[in-house]
Amino acid sequence: MLAKINSYALNGLDGYGVTVEVDIHMGLPSIDVVGLPDTAIKESRERVRSAIKNSGYDFSPRKITVNLAPAHTKKEGPIFDLAIALGMLVSTEQAGIDERKTPLKSVNDYVFLGELSLSGEVARVNGVMPMLIAAREQGVKKIVIPKANINEAKYIRDIEIYAVESLRDAVALIDGATRTPIDCCDVVLGGEASGGEDLKYVKGQYAAKRALEIAAAGGHNIIMIGSPGGGKTMLAKCLPTILPDMTEAEALETTKIHSVAGILDESCGIVTTRPFRSPHHTTSRVALTGGGPSAKPGEISYSHNGVLFLDELPEYPRSVLEILRQPLEDGVVTVSRAARSVEYPANFMLVASMNPCPCGYYGSATHQCTCSPSQIQKYMSRISGPLLDRIDLHIDVDEVHYDDLTKESNTESSADVRARVNAARAVQTARYAGTNVHSNAKMTSEMIKKYCVLDAAGERILQAAFDKLGMSARAYTRILKVARTIADLDGKTDITSAHVAEAVMYRSLDKAVK
Amino acid sequence: MVLSDLYLWLSYSHIPTRKINMLLEKMSPSQLWDSFDDDEIKYSLDDKTFGLLKRTRNKEYIDRAKYYLESNNIKYVTRADPIYPSALAQKEVDPPPVLYYKGDLSILMQPCLAVVGTRKASQYGRYVTSRTVEELASAFTIVSGLATGIDGYAHRAALAAGGKTVAVLGSGLFHASPTSNLALFDEICQNGLALSEYTPDTHATEYTFPQRNRIISGLCSGVLVVEASYKSGSLITANCALDQGRDVFAVPGDIDKIRSQGTNNLIKHGAIAVTCADDIFDYYSVKNKKEQPKTVALDFAEQSVLDALNGGEKSFDALVDVCGMTVPELNTALSALLIYGLVHEKSKNLYTVS
């Protein structure tokens, strides 16, 4: 008998329905899976066989053909285990049939997702959240997921979601046992960031802390330059604790990517705080942008709506850094491979740190730099102009002196800073409502013209800054954007000369070019 | 053969200048040319020198060289010419027979001052060079060696101040180095003077740079060494200056810093310590034409930052503590002061009054 069970698969972040067809016919006993399965699916034959047997059903040797339709797209992962097992049970008339042994129509109301263990338990799978969203959009009414995925599924409304623990559970469901769908709940945002240092433990470094606040408020890319031991990495680690709350839309977008990648926190089920990713500098290009045969997302997509922290920027291979240029500009990355082409969102804030020279002590007050001018130039030139061009804030992070370490000063905690950042971000959200821009950093030229109007005093000081400090033209729009954020933090609608003057302070690399 | 062509012959023979001048002490260039085939001359020269002179002793060859120079827009001045810099025509300088140049030779008529220093300049050295040269350039032609570091900063500051500057190369004019200063070289050719004692096609070697240092000091009435370590090439320039009877000025520095050891040592041995441009103006009794900075109306915050800095250089963090301002307030005030030019960043994150 032929059985058809619905399941779902992903292409990037978009889902599409897959029909698992199981047919039993005469011939030498074997199980064949067709429909471009990958190794994990081919192995599911063994898992399904054991799961069926260990759940107490009959598994006599037969010739079984399993087809995953549509047959032209590549399928991957163990997600079809449950559907294949159910298909076998239905086709051997052990499940999904009424008293007269005719198949129940209700079987096809459900979409089944899940991996099986040999004992017949249904195990967690990746990518449930985007599949649920896609299924809902395509009109699916009922979907069955592993119980372990319940945490990420519970935020999806307007679709009946059933969680099953074992193969027997699933069989009971299609046999008509009454089950209630899982309860939905609201996304609770703004939880305390897990991990990350509190800003109050950073001694001194007032200027750097202020720059981080501005960067967090406006979503600006920032680079920290300084000698070893200055606390660049520690400052960066404080960043998660001052990043603004996510909106619900942002949280769902980021969760989708994390779900596909399988890096979602199971206990929480949704990303409620902005991701902070810090890939090591041995990271490959593919790991950063995404790719592989199945075009998986990479680090820049993992950090969507959050922070991508690149410590020791010049240590990254040039080719790895250059690929950041286009995503930094567009906020998306298109990963194209022979089999498929997928667009992943990659709207991240770049935070980078670097030493001023190979030995690390150029310009240091306490150490002698031993590098030759050409070495320094070579080191700096590892970061290309176009990449620096996309970084709004440059700050020098100085070494910390012993006095600063021991001094008891009442510095602000991250919570205080975060309150200001949230207020500034709220102003921006209101300003850019109805556009796909969320922060000052992503303003278009048209918006800059509209929202970054300088008064006469502001114009004067900017003009003077260009003349006196030898700023490059590329600095112009960067300063305007940063000045806008400073004004937002200040709670002002208009940018004043004070805001411009402060923004000028964060262009140390431009000044160095002189 | 006219005398200038004879000097060109000597230059194109590529004999070391020292040997040429030793030769010229015994006889004039025309004597050398005319009686070259005499045994007396042949035996008074070593084989290599004789060979080099014989090979190039050819009127056609000299004419070709002249045509080549002309078609490549390279001007030259020989010791026979009245415009040959008189400062160089001194035995101690070891004057080269020909100077090849691009730009305006007449700027050498102004009083000249050499500003030299280490290639590995610190931010301090860079700042001191820029500040001092911007003032000095109003009265002096600034001579330096086009190298990275202090040399480059000196040229740039002179050009920025609208003054005149001379780059003395350690290679031929076609092979100006380093590459990072080529744009500067072009600008100097346009608005100043680039000169070399080497024929345009000569590549620099490790010997040519110390050689040209004597010309840097020779052209000038004094040499200002801004930053130099013990082994710095700029100390060679200072030594040449002493041999030639020029004045040596040095900017004192931190006694612990390698880059200040050379200059501090110069001062120890009698060089004139220079802490501002006025020290040099006063020494030469020249008037500093620098305009006094326009007075700017400062607000309360800016004034208090300035007062705090008047008590000594401070880092940003120290200023926050001393002035009792919030970070945004201090950022704004400090930025304004930097833009007005009342305060400068001495080294990374260390501010001081200008």
Q: How far apart are CA B310 and CA B298, in angstroms?
A: 15
What pLDDT is recorded for position A192?
62
Q: For B108-121, write each residue's pLDDT tens digit.
A: 999 999 999 998 88
Q: Which amino acid is at A256?
A: K
* Contact criterion met (CB < 8 Å) for A373 and B327: no
Q: Which residues of B touch A462 (CB under 8 A)?
A: none
Which residues in A lie closer than 8 A to residue B120 (C-beta atoms)? 369, 371-373
Residue A514 has pLDDT above 50, yes or no: no
Taking only the tens place, the pLDDT of each residue in B325-343 is 888 888 888 888 888 878 8
Residue of B nearest to A214 (CA): B328
* Min distance B260 CA to chain A CA atoms (Å): 12
Domains of chain A by start residue, with CATH: 2-174 (3.30.230.10), 199-430 (3.40.50.300), 443-514 (no CATH)
pLDDT for position B42 = 79
Statement: residue B82 has pLDDT above 80: yes
Q: What is the pLDDT of residue A195?
A: 67
Check A206 against B120: CB less than 8 A apart.
no
- For residues A206 and A381, give the distance between their C-alpha atoms in angstroms, rounded to a whole number: 29
- For chain B, residues classed under CATH 1.10.10.10 are 300-353
Helix (H) or strand (E) holding A116: strand A115-116
Output the pLDDT for position B157.
93
Q: Chain B interface, mutation test: which of A502, A507, A509, most B Cβ atoms within 10 Å? A: A502
Give the tens place of pLDDT for each residue, A143-185: 999 999 998 898 888 899 999 999 999 999 988 888 888 888 8
Q: What is the mean pLDDT of residues B77-103?
A: 92
Average confidence score pLDDT of chain A: 87
* pLDDT, tens only, A273-288: 889 999 999 999 999 9
Beta-bridge mates of residue A309: A351
Dist. CA A508–CA A395, nearest whole Å: 6
| Beta carbons of A327 and B311 less than 8 angstroms apart | no
Nearest neighbour of A204 by CB, restricted to B317, B339, B348: B317
Of A368, A489, A490, the CB nearest to B258: A368
Q: How many Å lie between the alpha carbon of B184 and the closest alpha carbon of chain A?
A: 12
Inter-chain residue contact A468 with B347, CB threshold 8 Å:
no
Say yes or no: domain B300-353 is CATH 1.10.10.10: yes
Q: Which DSSP symbol is given to A495?
A: B
Q: Between these two residues, A431 and A508, which has the higher pLDDT value?
A: A431
Report the CATH number of the B105-283 domain.
3.40.50.450
pLDDT band at A466 (very low <50, low <70, confident <90, very high): confident
Q: Give me the pLDDT at residue B246, please.
A: 93
CA pair distance B22, A217, nearest whole angstrom: 74
Which residue of B120, B320, B348 is in closest CB contact with A396?
B348
Give ∠ CA B165-B166-B167 in degrees, rounded to 5: 125
Q: How far apart are CA A246 and CA A250, in angstroms?
A: 6
Give the residue from B349, B352, B354 with the most A CB atoms within 10 Å of its CB, the best one to mutate. B349
pLDDT band for position A336 (50/70/90)?
Answer: confident
Facing residue for B180 by CB, picked from A205, A377, A489: A377
Residue of chain A whose alpha carbon sits nearest to that of B147: A373
CATH 3.40.50.450 range(s) for chain B read 105-283
Mean predicted confidence (pLDDT) in B185-199? 94
**Does pLDDT of A402 surpass 80?**
no
Nearest-Cα residue of chain A relative to residue B254: A365
Task: List residues in chain A touching B: CB distance below 8 A.
Answer: 204-207, 209-210, 226, 356, 363-365, 368-369, 371-374, 377, 396, 398, 404, 409, 461, 464-465, 468-469, 486, 489-490, 498-499, 501-502, 504-505
Decide: residue A367, CB within 10 A, 0-12 exposed, 13-18 middle, 19+ buried: middle
Q: pLDDT tens digit string along A51-92?
A: 999 999 999 899 999 999 899 888 888 999 999 999 999 999
B146 in the Ramachandran plot: left (φ > 0), alpha (ψ -120 to 50) or beta?
left
Residue B149, helix vs strand vs coil = coil
Each residue's pLDDT tens digit, A412-424? 888 889 999 999 9
A247 vs A121: which has the higher pLDDT:
A121
Contacts of B151 in chain A (CB under 8 A): none
Span B250-259, mean pLDDT? 89
Residue B240 has pLDDT above 50, yes or no: yes
| Nearest CB to A365 within list B321, B327, B347 | B347
- pLDDT digit string (tens) for A235-254? 888 888 899 988 888 888 89
Q: Residue A303: which pLDDT band, with cuts at 50, 70 and 90?
A: very high
Distance, in Å, from the CA atom of A201 to the CA atom of A410, rounded to the nearest integer, reads 10
CA distance B346 to chain A (A): 10
pLDDT mean over B158-163: 91
Query: Are B349 and A396 an interchain contact pair (Cβ–Cβ within 8 Å)?
Result: yes
Task: Please report the pLDDT score of residue B293 as a whole number.
Answer: 59
> What integer pLDDT is reported at residue B136 of this predicted model?
92
Instruction: Give the type of residue at B189.
Output: C
Q: Supply the pLDDT for residue B241.
A: 93
What is the rounded average pLDDT of the residues A472-492?
87
> A295 by DSSP, 3-state: which?
coil
Grade residue A513 by pLDDT with cuts at 50, 70 and 90: very low
Helix (H) or strand (E) holding A318: helix A318-322
Helices (H), chain B: 3-12, 17-26, 29-34, 39-44, 47-56, 59-71, 123-136, 150-160, 182-191, 208-219, 234-243, 258-268, 277-283, 300-310, 316-323, 327-340
Does residue A70 have a cis peptide bond before it, meaning omega lies within 30 degrees of 0? Answer: yes
Q: Residues B19-63: pLDDT tens digits?
A: 999 888 888 888 888 888 888 887 888 888 888 988 899 899 999
Measured CA to CA, the distance from residue A372 to residue B149 in angstroms comes to: 10
- Residues in chain A closer than 8 A to B257 (CB atoms): 368
Given CA atoms A319, A322, A328, A334 in this order, what sign does their dihedral have? negative
For chain B, the distance separating the N- and C-terminal CA atoms, rounded to the nearest angstrom, is 58
CA-to-CA dists, residue B8 to A310, B35, B104, angstroms: 60, 18, 20
Residue A366 confidence (pLDDT) above 80: no
**ipTM over the 0.85 cut-off:** no
Cross-chain Cβ contact A368/B257 below 8 Å:
yes
Nearest partner of A383 among A372, A394, A371, judged by Cα: A394
